[in-house]
A and B are shown apart, each in its own frame.
Chain A
Amino acid sequence: MEAFSFGSYYPGDSVLHRLDPRTKLVGGLAFLIVSLLARSFAGLAVIGLFTAALYLVARIPAGRALRSLAPLCAIIVVVALLRLFTDDGGRLLFELGFIRIYEGGVYACVFTSVRMLFMMCVMSLVTMTTMTLDLTHAVERLLSPLQRFGVPAHELGMMLGIALRFMPQFASELQTTYRAQVSRGARVASGPLGGIRMLSSVSIPLFASIFRHADTLSAAMDARCYHGEQGRTRLHPLHFGTRDGVAAALLAALAAVVILVG
């Protein structure tokens, strides 16, 4: 599970945790745009300070934050290398065959990777301080104006929520089935034919189980009076508070400073 720890929820009670999930989602996107506006290391420094401040406010330990980013370093490295070899401004620093590295390339490489690092830090912060369920709820509410144009926002939110609820269960069922078939001598590494047989022996029971669960689940939802969005209320309705206003103001200030600094 360690590999999937990118942005997995970190329980806490900070201001960031209590912010409306919609604010966090939209704010996160706004931050991405703002970080694209920065054109110099001075601008990046401002963004970096802001990011560090957010982590301090959220009280997430540095170790945890770095660990959650580790799987994404590969992306940063790939993009950074691309920039290194393709940007050809400034002095030629190094040449070997068709590989030419220019001063501009080094600059672009460092600049891009630092910028991407900050972007990922903040996006991962959004998911680290927001429960997945609140996130789906936020997506649902943000999409709801589109309902007029036939986008099934509520249904999408419901589906996402149920999918998340069943994820750990299917994972454990899959493991049981896998072990049961291994007990019957199935091996992954017994040639392509054996591989296919193994795959179907595990996936078909999983599908059968999904259908079985779906049948009862829909009856269970029926029995609890589920009938779509109409007339449905929420235990924890989302509303914007002063906190969200402050967050928006801070983001606007950040944007202004970044544009000014350049």
Chain B
Amino acid sequence: MISCEHIRYTYDGATYALDDVSLTIADGEFVCLLGGNGSGKSTLAKHLNALLVPDEGRVTVDGMDTADTEFTYDIRSTVGYVFQNPDDQLVATLVEDDVAFGPENLGEEPDAIARAVAEALRDVGLMDFERHETHALSGGQKQRVAIAGVLAMRPRVLVLDEASAMLDPRGRAGLLRVCRRLHEAGMTIVMITHYMEEATAADRVVVLDAGKIALEGTPEDVLTQVEVLGRLNLEVPACCQLALALRERGVACTPRVDEGAMVRAVAELVGACAGDGAEDPCAPADDDAGAPVSAGSKPLISFEHVSYSYEPSVRERARRRRLPRRKKAAAWGSDPEAIWALHNIDLAIRPGEFLGIAGHTGSGKSTLIQHMNGLVHPTMGRVAVCGENLADRRAADEAKTVVGVVFQYPEHQLFAQTVLEDVAFGPKNLGLSADEVDARVREALRLVGLSADVVGSKSPFALSGGQQRRVAFAGVLAMRPRVLVLDEPAAGLDPAARREFLDLVAHLHDEGLTVIMVSHSMDDLAELCDRVVVLNEGAVLMDGTPHDVFCRPDELRRVGLDAPAAQRMAMGLRALGVPLAHGRLYTIEGLACAVAALVQGGAR
């Protein structure tokens, strides 16, 4: 279908973004392209539909050379391309106009376009969304509209350039489901991703590094190579990690990339040894290790019966409440007609805590954290920081120095000419002396692992994405807050950068900061937090230690969340009759240890 022969490409003439890459993609194949940030994956993908033309070598699509401008539009309608950011690629206000954009450009007849639009929307599971406005959709829905827009041109290949990177777990699952269905119907799919779990669905995995193909093969072959992937800023899927951890403990186990298969294989191992609930040597001595810290101390931030509505007028709220509840609008996502973004929240955050906030998009997480420093005021109820009610203007100003909020994609808020100036923005607003400002800027940069002397005089826009985010972090830390509130601090980063950031956050917590982190990743929350709050439709659904929360997976699943991978596998094993302890929160290591004990105990 597509063949790349020894292609080389350079953006700046100095370094090759692609260096002698040869790749053939067969008709109907599902190929996954992996690689850290800057490994050349997107550049390669853009060659597949003539958005870029190689400097050397050649790319042919269905026999057509991409360098030949005569074929450009044939190639682009054969190879559809979906971009990373759902907000960048929709051209029209209405869903149907956007989906029709491609076929309109190809000059098809209006009847044919209408048919193509209806079919494409059906294929991505958005039937009857024709007249919806694109900006009001959720991220996952927008991305599916983007896919529909490509499908309406009836392509034979679909290229997804990190199309799931900015989506929440639900959106990602929906996107993956669409891809799988299209693939079953015969579509060739090229998917670029950071998420190893997504790569497991592919027929073939290609790993790029510095513009070269580093690894290539079936998911089983590639995704189990821990050392190589680690060097390439990637990591192996959780189920492979389990197999490798078992192997370390002397249990022979072939890594599988499919979680279900992995769980069955482990269950068989244990079953063959007829283990009968041997003593688990790795059970933590103190099972309540995660008890809330300093439960007795005075809360730093407290929410009392806080409710918040985007609709400020009481009359309008009452009117909406009287309206008959419409039939379930979309298959998922929050109801845009919902009256309350937050409803009767009671929450106390104590000094030194590491609080995780989970919940799907639209559950009120962002609204909740914006209450914490008085950016948003509750419609009803009261928020207090250090005992001061934020309804008071002075207290709200004061709260901004106590509670530092880092928004999602904070690098998008950088503005100054140099890094130093940008970080100094906060302290300067506090009216501090020049010396004090300078000291704080240096300290903040040091905390995020940057040197003021090296990057200080550079423009923040000239830094790499990861460094930009560090600078934005420093900008908040320079305010010397006692509480750090983070909204998805690791969103959109590759696995290695993600790891680094989470380590940074953990380090800041160790330095004595109270940390509140919003995250979609249950694994991260389980690993880092000592308390987790789950929000659903604006109300607190669960509040407790990770142990309390993640041992109730059924409830989590009902609100569109999941248990951490290790816990999920432990439950799968239990369902297959493996005698693992109930009500215990497992890590990969802990689970491997317990399983190894069962296997070896049974064998003895």
In the complex, per-residue mask of B65-104: 1 if CB is within 8 Å of any chain A CB, else 0: 0000000010011001101010111111110110011111
The stretch among A72-80, A112-120, A226-234 that forms the contact with chain B is A226-234
The stretch among B288-296, B405-413, B569-577 that forms the contact with chain A is B405-413
| B110 to chain A: closest residue by CB | A237
Give Cα A243–Cα B49 distance, bound, in whole angstroms: 45
Give Cα A179–Cα B46 distance, bound, in whole angstroms: 36
Contact B83 A184 (CB under 8 A): no
| A221 to chain B: closest residue by CB | B91
Contact B76 A224 (CB under 8 A): yes
Q: Does B108 contact A (CB under 8 A)?
A: yes
Contact B113 A162 (CB under 8 A): no
Give Cα A212–Cα B117 distance, bound, in whole angstroms: 28
The stretch among B17-25, B336-344, B423-431 that forms the contact with chain A is B423-431
Contact A235 B114 (CB under 8 A): yes
Q: Which residues of A contact B105 (CB under 8 A)?
A: 224-227, 231-232
Number of interface residues of B (CB under 8 A): 63
In the complex, per-residue mask of B378-416: 1 if CB is within 8 Å of any chain A CB, else 0: 000000000000000000010011001101001011111
Contact A161 B92 (CB under 8 A): yes
Contact A161 B93 (CB under 8 A): yes
22 contacts between A and B (CB under 8 A): A131-B94, A169-B135, A176-B413, A179-B375, A180-B405, A181-B413, A187-B397, A201-B413, A201-B416, A213-B87, A220-B81, A221-B101, A222-B51, A223-B49, A224-B102, A225-B76, A225-B105, A226-B101, A233-B104, A233-B110, A235-B103, A236-B110
Take A220-B91, A224-B76 as given contacts and tell me if A183 and B373 are in contact as well, using a CB distance cutoff of 8 Å: yes
**A237 smallest CB distance to B (angstroms):** 6
Q: Does A185 contact B (CB under 8 A)?
A: yes
In the complex, per-residue mask of A204-226: 1 if CB is within 8 Å of any chain B CB, else 0: 11001100110011011111111
Give Cα A7–Cα B407 distance, bound, in whole angstroms: 35
**A196 smallest CB distance to B (angstroms):** 12
Contact A183 B88 (CB under 8 A): no
Give Cα A162–Cα B92 distance, bound, in whole angstroms: 6
Q: Which residues of A contact B100 (CB under 8 A)?
A: 235
Q: Which residues of A contact B109 (CB under 8 A)?
A: 233
Give Cα A220–Cα B101 distance, bound, in whole angstroms: 11
**B243 smallest CB distance to A (angstroms):** 39
Q: Which residues of B contact A219 (CB under 8 A)?
A: 46, 51, 83
Take A180-B407, A217-B88, A217-B91 as given contacts and tell me if A231 and B107 are in contact as well, using a CB distance cutoff of 8 Å: yes
> Which listed residue (B49, B87, B91, B102) contacts A162, Cβ 8 A?
B91
Contact A205 B77 (CB under 8 A): no
Q: Which residues of B contact A51 (CB under 8 A)?
A: none
Give Cα A161–Cα B96 distance, bound, in whole angstroms: 14
| B114 to chain A: closest residue by CB | A235
Give Cα A184–Cα B440 distance, bound, in whole angstroms: 14
Q: Which residues of A contact B80 (CB under 8 A)?
A: 223
Contact A223 B110 (CB under 8 A): no
| B93 to chain A: closest residue by CB | A165
Contact B134 A165 (CB under 8 A): yes
Q: Does B211 contact A (CB under 8 A)?
A: no
**A207 smallest CB distance to B (angstroms):** 9
* Chain A contact residues, majority secondary structure: helix
> Which listed residue (A185, A208, A220) contacts B461, Cβ 8 A?
A208
Contact A183 B83 (CB under 8 A): no
Cβ-closest 4 pairs across A and B: A185-B429, A220-B89, A216-B88, A204-B415
Q: Does A182 contact B (CB under 8 A)?
A: yes
**A160 smallest CB distance to B (angstroms):** 11
> Which listed residue (A133, A194, A220) contacts B94, Cβ 8 A?
A133
* Most B C-beta atoms less than 10 A away, residue of A161, A231, A232, A233: A233
Q: Does A177 contact B (CB under 8 A)?
A: yes
Q: Does B475 contact A (CB under 8 A)?
A: yes
Give Cα A213–Cα B91 distance, bound, in whole angstroms: 11
Q: Which residues of B contact A168 (CB under 8 A)?
A: 135
Give Cα A222–Cα B104 distance, bound, in whole angstroms: 13
Give Cα A187–Cα B428 distance, bound, in whole angstroms: 11
Q: Does B34 contact A (CB under 8 A)?
A: no
Give Cα A226–Cα B76 distance, bound, in whole angstroms: 10
Give Cα A101–Cα B387 distance, bound, in whole angstroms: 63
Contact A177 B413 (CB under 8 A): yes
Contact B96 A235 (CB under 8 A): yes
> Which listed residue (A176, A185, A235) contacts B97, Cβ 8 A?
A235
Give Cα A212–Cα B428 distance, bound, in whole angstroms: 29
Q: Does B370 contact A (CB under 8 A)?
A: yes
Contact B370 A235 (CB under 8 A): no
**B545 smallest CB distance to A (angstroms):** 29
**A61 smallest CB distance to B (angstroms):** 14
Contact B425 A201 (CB under 8 A): yes
15 further contact pairs, Cβ within 8 A, besides A205-B413, A225-B153 = A161-B91, A161-B92, A177-B412, A180-B407, A181-B425, A184-B425, A184-B475, A185-B400, A194-B429, A201-B425, A217-B89, A224-B91, A225-B106, A227-B73, A234-B104
> Which listed residue (B91, B114, B401) contacts A185, Cβ 8 A?
B401
Q: Does B528 contact A (CB under 8 A)?
A: no
* Most A C-beta atoms less than 10 A away, residue of B87, B370, B404, B479: B87
| A214 to chain B: closest residue by CB | B88
Q: Does B591 contact A (CB under 8 A)?
A: no
> Which listed residue (B91, B413, B416) contacts A180, Cβ 8 A?
B413
**A182 smallest CB distance to B (angstroms):** 6
